[in-house]
Amino acid sequence: MTARKVRHLHTAIRDDIGDLITHRPLPGPSIDYLDPYLFLNHHGPQVYERDNKGLPFGPHPHRGFETVTFILDGSLAHADSDDHKSIINTGGVQWMTAGRGLVHSEVSPEAFRRDGGRMEILQLWINLPAELKMTEPRYTGLQADDLVQVELDEGRGHLTLIAGEFDQQDSTFRGPIETPTTSFMSIITIKEGSLIQLPVPEDHEIFCYVVRGNIMISEQAIRPCHLIEFDTKGDYVEIRGSGDATLIFGHSPRLKEPMVSHGPFVMNTREEIDQAVSDYQNGRFGGLAAN
């Protein structure tokens, strides 16, 4: 077995949206995308006062990729033009496959806008391969208790399994979210002094973003709000906790396909983008009233 080495660290840039504290490592000054990972917004952590306006992400379209939303603190209300609705609270996850297209909104629930509270939410975009660009949309929203919990390093680490499989000793754990690809996704927390090893297929790209705390990989110290780009050779990642830390860790097959993006649409050709814009403007994504 060979450990993946760090190729590059990408610092998240500060890019607030109104009063919403936002850091974005992807895309950024040193990276456009990390095939198939397209985009990550890290909102918060921050505390909202009573009678706030909440998150500003009202109805908007998507086509051609998936969104994964991690509610580390606070709550999030989802609604879309396929009639999915949910309110997901601290520790939960939303996974939406936009596929051929839909309109959705992600806003703070009425109770949060009224009472305020702590909020930290991340959203990741994952590209879909050409043969799945026009797949039927789907949505899954899960609370913290619905996710699979795996102990690491004799309790010094912890993996919250969202999608994919994770083998440990004689057990295979399976995440509750079924995806159209073989994506693996998890939230990992580790304590100072911990050492964990995470298997990764060689044909998969790794997504690893440090949300909180400090870690060590390949004898390199890594601080919060950094996206880690790995070499392509190797079949596992070894992470040491140099402090208590939280990170998003996943991996997916590299698509190695042409990509054309235009705002909330990600396709393979300019003609497909033009069609997406036309379909949205002509109401073919369905409708969604403002929350």
What per-residue confidence (pLDDT) applies to 136?
A: 96
Query: Does 165 belong to an annotated binding site?
Result: no
The reply to whether 262 falls in a domain is no
Query: Does 204 belong to an annotated binding site?
Result: no
Query: Does 60 belong to an annotated binding site?
Result: yes
The reply to whether 55 falls in a domain is yes
The reply to whether 277 falls in a domain is no
Note the pTM of the prediction, 2 decimals.
0.96
Distances, alpha carbon 169 to alpha carbons 173, 193, 250, 276, in Å: 11, 21, 20, 46
CA torsion angle for 154, 213, 122, 45 (degrees, to 10)?
130
Which pair of structure tokens corresponds to residue 41? 């917004």
The reply to whether 126 falls in a domain is yes
Going from the first residue of the chain to its last (291 residues), give the mean pLDDT of each consecutive group of 10, the final group possibly shorter: 94 96 97 98 98 95 98 97 96 98 96 97 98 97 97 95 93 95 96 95 96 93 97 95 95 97 97 97 80 42
CATH of the domain at 136: 2.60.120.10
Contact 188, 244 (CB under 8 A): no
For 103, the domain range is: 6-253
The reply to whether 41 falls in a domain is yes
The reply to whether 188 falls in a domain is yes
The reply to whether 11 falls in a domain is yes
The reply to whether 261 falls in a domain is no
Look at residues 67, 93, 98 and name the one whose alpha carbon lies nearest to residue 82: 98
Query: Does 23 belong to an annotated binding site?
Result: no
Number of domains making up the chain: 1
